[in-house]
């Protein structure tokens, strides 16, 4: 073999090896390249070395020198590639291909319904004020929804058109037989149930779904949520009510607010008031409240001469709508997942 041919082959091999090691993007390709060029049995460097035997004797020192230079060149390229590979995470793409701005692999996280979020916040605040959360049935009898709440037989609140009374359906005729039950129209029913089986003092929050036959529109829905508070003790007054509502509103709004009472009328409280809070330069309706009517205390077996108490009730949807800028109550019950994802 002519010396020049041998030298050309060496040069070509060196260039090819540098290129292969330089391009190796991961350890696997690098290893494959190493086997190709530096493999102990069948590597290309090895095979070119075997060709040295056919070089003329006088050319051999020159060829040997050139071989060693190329070998050093290839080994250096390999070491450089190996070094680079060690600096990069295993199996990762080459620096040139890495794009930190590509979107991450996201997890889909669900959302708690805004009404539940509001309820949980209100519960949490009232819990800090010493009120425990109680639950009760949504289907109620006459006693708990009306009689014990001092709502007499002739009160308009009992009107069939104001309530969802229940019936069993006669399968054949389709006629409905009233069963003396109704979907509760207020969560005060739970207060009665708690007082019936618990001696004072009482400090509770009842909340949940209530039902009133309103035609669904932007501000009405026949099903909504109420949160009601009740505090009964030996010495509870309207001043306690106002103070608790102020703490409640201040905690909810995150700033000191003031409370205003306007006279109102509810069968189960006397005196009855509408409570407003002053926020952002205006009075905002908070909810109905008052001192528990002595007839209610008597109905559950308490002595109005021994204990007094206050009660208040708030509409959860209204608070939630105002807080989050929701303008149509029906959105809450449509459950468009894009709507739910906003909260």
Q: Please, which of residues 246-265 interact with other proteins by CB under 8 A?
A: 246-247, 258-265
Q: Please, which of residues 299-318 interact with other proteins by CB under 8 A?
A: 308
The sign of the CA dihedral 276, 277, 278, 279 is negative
CA distance 290 to 274: 8
73 binds other proteins (CB under 8 A): no
Rounded (5°) CA angle 254-243-288: 90
| Minimum CB–partner distance for residue 102 and other proteins (Å) | 21
| Minimum CB–partner distance for residue 326 and other proteins (Å) | 13
Q: Please, which of residues 169-198 interact with other proteins by CB under 8 A?
A: 169, 171, 176, 178-179, 181, 183
Site map for other proteins, 112-141, x if CB under 8 A? xx-xx---x--x--xxxxxxxxxx-xxxxx
279 binds other proteins (CB under 8 A): no
- Whether residue 263 contacts residue 271, with contact meaning beta carbons closer than 8 Å, is answered with yes
Site map for other proteins, 38-67, x if CB under 8 A? ------------------------------
CA distance 166 to 184: 11
* Rounded alpha-carbon distances, angstroms, from residue 97 to 30, 66, 173: 17, 36, 75
| Minimum CB–partner distance for residue 301 and other proteins (Å) | 18
| Minimum CB–partner distance for residue 199 and other proteins (Å) | 15
* Rounded alpha-carbon distances, angstroms, from residue 15 to 21, 22, 71: 10, 10, 11
8-state DSSP, 55: S
270 binds other proteins (CB under 8 A): yes
Considering the complex, state which of residue 11 and residue 141 has its C-beta at the smaller distance from other proteins. 141
Phi/psi for 212 (5° steps) reads -140, 135
């Amino acid at each position: 073999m002519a010396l020049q041919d041998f030298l050309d082959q060496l040069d070509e091999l060196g260039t090819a090896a540098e290129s292969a090691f330089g391009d190796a993007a991961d350890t696997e390709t690098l290893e494959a390249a190493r086997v190709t060029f530096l493999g102990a049995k069948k590597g290309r460097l090895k095979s070119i070395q075997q060709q040295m035997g056919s070089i003329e004797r006088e050319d051999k020192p020159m060829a040997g020198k050139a071989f060693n230079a190329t070998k050093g060149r290839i080994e250096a390229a390999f070491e450089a590639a190996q070094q680079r590979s060690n600096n990069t995470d295993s199996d990762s793409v080459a620096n040139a291909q890495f794009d930190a701005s590509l979107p991450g692999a996201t997890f889909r996280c669900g959302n708690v319904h805004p009404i539940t979020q509001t309820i949980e916040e209100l519960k949490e605040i009232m819990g800090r004020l010493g009120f425990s959360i109680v639950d009760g049935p949504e289907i109620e009898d006459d006693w708990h929804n009306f009689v014990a709440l001092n709502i007499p037989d002739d009160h308009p609140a009992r009107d069939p058109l104001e309530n969802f009374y229940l019936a069993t359906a006669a399968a054949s005729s389709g006629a409905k037989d009233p069963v003396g039950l109704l979907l509760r129209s207020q969560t005060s029913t739970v207060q009665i149930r708690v007082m019936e089986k618990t001696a004072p003092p009482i400090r509770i929050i009842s909340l949940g779904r209530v039902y009133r036959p309103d035609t669904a529109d932007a501000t009405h829905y026949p099903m909504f949520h109420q949160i009601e508070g009740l505090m009964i003790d030996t010495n509870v007054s309207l001043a306690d009510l106002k103070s608790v509502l102020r703490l409640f509103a201040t905690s909810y709004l995150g700033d000191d607010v003031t409370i205003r009472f306007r006279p109102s009328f509810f069968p189960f409280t006397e005196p009855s008031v509408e409570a407003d809070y002053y926020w952002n330069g205006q009075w905002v309706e908070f909810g109905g409240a008052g001192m528990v009517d002595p007839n209610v205390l008597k109905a559950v077996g308490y002595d109005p001469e021994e204990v007094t108490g206050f009660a208040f009730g708030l509409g959860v949807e209204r608070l939630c709508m105002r807080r989050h800028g929701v303008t149509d109550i029906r959105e809450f019950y449509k459950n468009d997942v894009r709507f739910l994802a906003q909260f």
